[in-house]
């Protein structure tokens, strides 16, 4: 009676709690792995499965009955036939169904083989001899008709509906049926330059593991990245991790770090996983070898500096020597160290990019000047009174005087010619203030019996505009300075005198450089833009009115310069302006007191005004030279 009662209570409890039955009966999908064109599905016990193919888009769906997933996965593959493999819990009641969906690049034949707790799905051909599970494949010979189960997806409940039909395999000798041929992949020619850790995928991944074996997690990630893994004996233990939409490379490095592991590349597509202590112990016992690396673009001495710094940071055994004549690097290190050095050398010894610097230099010169002046002289004599003087032979005073003085003492020439008034510089009366530049003059005067007056008004005005354009181009290597030099050499003499007895004097000709010097250092950034350090210098002789040349004729030099750093896009133009030279001068020459009289003062003064303005505009356009 007691046994019967206990049995009834157990049945009643399980009926009200079907989850216990579900947990007890369902198989657990432990892992889904991908290798080339094969997919391996591992469960904790054998399961029943169904498979069907879809054409739009091409897919292969494998359904596992009475099974549940430990975690949802999405594995990018990108092989000849498989694009991606993803898992999902299709249904949980009344029967739990898990799905593994293979997204295909094209319609392909497949074969599914069950080995104990593992299902193996092979795309593109038979998995082994004697299998008859190939679908959608042309037969070699015409076989007898047989029943084939076809799973048709239902549009209402999304559950497959089974039906049985009879089909006849096609004969490729009679019908033109396309046959899928795997495409050959191009071989990599520069294998040694690839660094696995630096080229890991960056696609976001989701990881949710609880007390999972660290080797299984690393193996799953390695399968996604398509790389091979070698585990050291000290790679053991379990880990729990929950990452959501984390870049693949960050997830891979995080798993290594939290488990105290490191990765070392031992081939173009092979990573060895071990603890750092294992790598350091092996490094100390390694056998040293020597190899010579011939460089094409970089200088061996510069590369040696970089390699020495890396070896010091990694506590490596590498020793380096430089052969300057052959631009070669001699390295002594372990076999693994030489492989790492080869990858570093390949990364450093690259053909440098070049930049074409196109410069336009526009110099605009404006100049205005105005000069005016006056010259006049007068002479008159009446009743013994006179103003001014005649010519240089004229007497001062009446001729009746016993010894009249001459305008110029000591003159004894003949008194010939008509007397004319002397100018102010000759000893007469008048003003001699002509314009500095004479482009026009107006002369007037009057001659009477006893006086003469003569005047000349001079003036000049100038207005000019000049434009100088030069368009030099120069190409330079990335991060190397380019110089554009548009200059003139101005000579002057110097004299050196020794302190010997007798002293010896030596005259030398020295040259001063004036003009435009433009220094540009371009640096190509990783985003394709160009950083430029620009340093223009403009120099010219100082005007003589501003700076008096030193003894020996050395002229003064005016210099204008700028120093700037800019970032521009390829082909974009930067303009440098403001290099302006502006000179204004105004001078007044006059007779004291008389020149200050309003209006009448213009008869006793002259004036000169000038202004010179020069502006330099520099346009710099960098262009990256491709190829």
d(CA 145, CA 556): 108
Q: Residue 564 class from Cβ within 10 Å (0-12 exposed, 13-18 middle, 19+ buried)? A: exposed
Q: Which of 350, 375, 396 delimits the end of a domain?
A: 350
113 and 31 assigned to the same domain: yes
The number of domains in the chain is 4
The pLDDT-based confidence of 292 (bands split at 50, 70, 90) is very high
d(CA 601, CA 374): 11
pTM above threshold 0.75? no
Angle at 494 between CA 490 and CA 495, to 5 degrees: 165
Note the pLDDT of residue 169.
45
285 versus 258: the higher-pLDDT residue is: 258
Which phi and psi angles does 199 have, rounded to 5°? -120, 25
Q: Is 64 contained in some domain?
A: yes
Note the pLDDT of residue 12.
57
426 versus 398: the higher-pLDDT residue is: 426
- Give me the CATH number covering residue 322: 3.30.1370.120
pLDDT of 285 above 90:
no
The pLDDT-based confidence of 9 (bands split at 50, 70, 90) is low
366 and 447 assigned to the same domain: yes
pLDDT of 547 above 80:
no
Note the pLDDT of residue 293.
92
Q: Is 15 contained in some domain?
A: no
Of 1-10, 28-37, 295-304, 595-604, which has the strongest mean pLDDT? Answer: 295-304
Q: Is 139 contained in some domain?
A: no
Q: Which range has the worst mean pLDDT, 1-5, 415-419, 603-607?
A: 415-419
Q: Is 8 contained in some domain?
A: no
pLDDT of 477 above 50:
yes
Burial letters for 572-586: b for 16+ Cβ neighbours within 10 Å, e otherwise? eebebeebebeeeee
Note the pLDDT of residue 173.
46
- The maximal CA–CA distance of the chain, rounded, in angstroms, is 185
Over range 554-574, report the average pLDDT: 87
d(CA 89, CA 72): 8
d(CA 556, CA 541): 6
pLDDT of 177 above 50:
no
Inter-residue contact 335 to 286 (CB < 8 Å): yes
pLDDT in tens, 395-415: 444 444 444 444 444 444 443
DSSP state letters, 152-215: EE-TTT--EEEEEEEE----TTTS------PPPPPPPS--TT--TGGG----EEEEEEEEEEHH
254 and 301 assigned to the same domain: no
pLDDT of 596 above 70:
yes
Over range 497-516, report the average pLDDT: 86
Burial letters for 57-72: b for 16+ Cβ neighbours within 10 Å, e otherwise? ebebbbbbebbbbebe
**Tokens matching residue 103:** 């997204």
Over range 301-312, report the average pLDDT: 89
Q: Is 384 contained in some domain?
A: yes
Which DSSP helix (H) or strand (E) runs through 21?
helix 18-25
98 and 61 assigned to the same domain: yes
382 and 467 assigned to the same domain: yes
Q: Is 362 contained in some domain?
A: yes
Nearest CA to 427 out of 447, 445, 407, 442 is that of 407
pLDDT in tens, 332-378: 988 878 888 888 888 888 888 899 999 888 888 888 888 888 888 87
74 and 114 assigned to the same domain: yes
The pLDDT-based confidence of 623 (bands split at 50, 70, 90) is very high
- The chain-wide mean pLDDT, for the chain, equals 77
Non-local CB neighbours of 536 within 8 Å, separated by 6+ positions: 516, 517, 518, 519, 561, 562, 576, 579, 616, 618
Q: Which range has the worst mean pLDDT, 50-54, 313-317, 321-325, 592-596?
A: 313-317
- What residue numbers bound the domain in which 392 lies? 352-405+421-478
Note the pLDDT of residue 186.
45
318 and 432 assigned to the same domain: no
Non-local CB neighbours of 492 within 8 Å, separated by 6+ positions: 509, 510, 511, 512, 549, 552, 553, 554, 555
Note the pLDDT of residue 452.
78
Note the pLDDT of residue 168.
45
pLDDT in tens, 430-459: 888 888 877 788 877 777 767 777 788 888
d(CA 394, CA 415): 8
What is the CB-side half-sphere exposure of residue 118 using CA atoms within 13 A?
11
Q: Is 175 contained in some domain?
A: no
Percentage with pLDDT > 70 across the chain: 75
- Give me the CATH number covering residue 117: 2.60.40.3500
Q: Is 500 contained in some domain?
A: no
**Tokens matching residue 298:** 């970089």
Over range 378-394, report the average pLDDT: 66
pLDDT of 18 above 70:
no
Note the pLDDT of residue 589.
87
- Give me the CATH number covering residue 253: 3.55.50.30
Note the pLDDT of residue 419.
54
Note the pLDDT of residue 524.
92
Note the pLDDT of residue 482.
92
362 and 278 assigned to the same domain: no
390 and 336 assigned to the same domain: no
Q: Which of 249, 283, 317 delimits the end of a domain?
A: 283
346 and 379 assigned to the same domain: no
Q: Which range has the worst mean pLDDT, 23-37, 557-571, 583-597?
A: 23-37
pLDDT of 503 above 90:
no
Nearest CA to 82 out of 133, 122, 44, 126 is that of 122
Q: Residue 269 class from Cβ within 10 Å (0-12 exposed, 13-18 middle, 19+ buried)? A: middle
Note the pLDDT of residue 390.
64
Inter-residue contact 492 to 498 (CB < 8 Å): no
Note the pLDDT of residue 172.
42
Non-local CB neighbours of 400 within 8 Å, separated by 6+ positions: none
39 and 58 assigned to the same domain: yes
Total count of residues recorded for the chain: 627
pLDDT of 145 above 70:
no
Over range 532-540, report the average pLDDT: 88
Which DSSP helix (H) or strand (E) runs through 281?
helix 276-284
Q: Which of 335, 350, 365 delimits the end of a domain?
A: 350
371 and 467 assigned to the same domain: yes
Over range 578-600, report the average pLDDT: 84
């Amino acid at each position: 009676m007691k046994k019967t009662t206990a049995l009834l209570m157990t049945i009643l409890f399980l009926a009200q709690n079907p989850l216990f039955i579900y947990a007890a009966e369902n198989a657990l999908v432990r892992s889904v792995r991908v290798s080339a064109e094969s997919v391996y599905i591992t469960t904790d016990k054998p399961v029943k499965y169904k498979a069907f193919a879809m054409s739009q888009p091409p897919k292969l769906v494998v359904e596992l009955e009475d099974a549940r997933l430990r975690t949802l996965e999405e594995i990018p593959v990108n092989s000849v036939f498989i694009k991606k493999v993803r898992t999902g819990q299709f249904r949980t009641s009344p029967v739990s169904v898990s799905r593994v969906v293979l997204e295909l690049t094209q319609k392909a034949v497949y074969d599914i083989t069950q080995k104990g707790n593992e299902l193996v799905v092979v795309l593109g051909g038979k998995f082994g001899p004697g299998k008859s599970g190939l679908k959608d494949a042309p037969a070699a010979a015409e076989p007898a008709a047989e029943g084939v189960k076809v799973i048709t997806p239902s549009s209402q409940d999304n559950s497959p509906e089974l039906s049985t039909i009879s089909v006849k395999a096609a004969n490729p000798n009679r019908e033109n049926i396309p046959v899928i041929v795997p495409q050959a992949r191009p071989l990599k020619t520069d294998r040694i330059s690839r660094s696995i850790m630096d080229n890991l995928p960056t696609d976001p991944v989701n990881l949710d593991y609880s007390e999972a074996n660290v080797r299984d997690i690393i193996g799953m990630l390695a399968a996604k990245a398509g790389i091979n893994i070698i585990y050291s004996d000290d790679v053991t233990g379990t880990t729990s991790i929950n990452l959501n939409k984390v870049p693949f490379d960050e997830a891979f490095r995080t798993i290594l770090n939290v488990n105290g592991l490191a990765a070392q590349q031992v081939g173009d597509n092979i990573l060895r996983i071990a603890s750092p202590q294992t790598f350091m112990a092996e490094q100390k016992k390694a056998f040293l070898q020597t190899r010579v690396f011939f460089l094409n673009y970089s200088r061996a001495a510069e590369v040696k500096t970089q390699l020495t710094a890396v070896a010091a940071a990694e506590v490596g055994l590498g020793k380096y020597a430089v052969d300057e004549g052959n631009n070669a690097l001699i390295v002594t290190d372990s076999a693994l160290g030489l492989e790492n050095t080869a990858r570093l050398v390949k990364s450093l010894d690259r053909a440098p990019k070049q930049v074409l610097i196109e410069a336009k230099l526009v110099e605009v010169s404006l100049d205005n000047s105005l000069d005016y002046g006056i010259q006049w002289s007068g002479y008159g004599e009446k009743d013994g009174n006179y103003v001014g003087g005649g010519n240089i032979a004229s007497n001062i005073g009446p001729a009746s005087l016993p010894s009249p003085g001459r305008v110029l003492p000591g003159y004894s020439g003949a008194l010939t010619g008509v007397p004319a008034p002397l100018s102010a510089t000759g000893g007469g009366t008048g003003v001699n203030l002509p314009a500095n530049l004479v482009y026009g003059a107006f002369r007037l005067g009057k001659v009477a019996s006893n006086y003469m007056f003569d005047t000349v008004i001079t003036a000049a005005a100038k207005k000019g505009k000049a434009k100088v354009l030069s368009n030099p181009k120069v190409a330079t290597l990335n991060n190397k300075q380019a110089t554009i030099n548009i200059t003139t050499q101005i000579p002057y003499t110097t004299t050196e005198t020794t302190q010997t007895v007798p002293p010896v004097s030596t005259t030398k000709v020295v040259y001063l450089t004036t003009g435009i010097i433009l220094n540009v250092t371009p640096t190509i950034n990783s985003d394709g833009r160009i950083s430029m350090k620009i340093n223009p210098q403009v120099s010219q002789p100082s005007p003589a009115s501003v700076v008096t040349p030193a003894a020996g004729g050395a002229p003064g030099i005016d210099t204008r310069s700028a120093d700037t750093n800019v970032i521009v896009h390829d082909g974009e133009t930067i303009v440098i302006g403001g290099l302006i030279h502006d000179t204004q001068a105004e001078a007044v020459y006059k007779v004291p007191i008389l020149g200050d009289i309003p209006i009448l003062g213009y008869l006793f003064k002259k004036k000169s005004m000038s202004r010179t303005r020069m502006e330099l505009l520099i346009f710099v356009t960098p262009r990256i030279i491709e190829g």
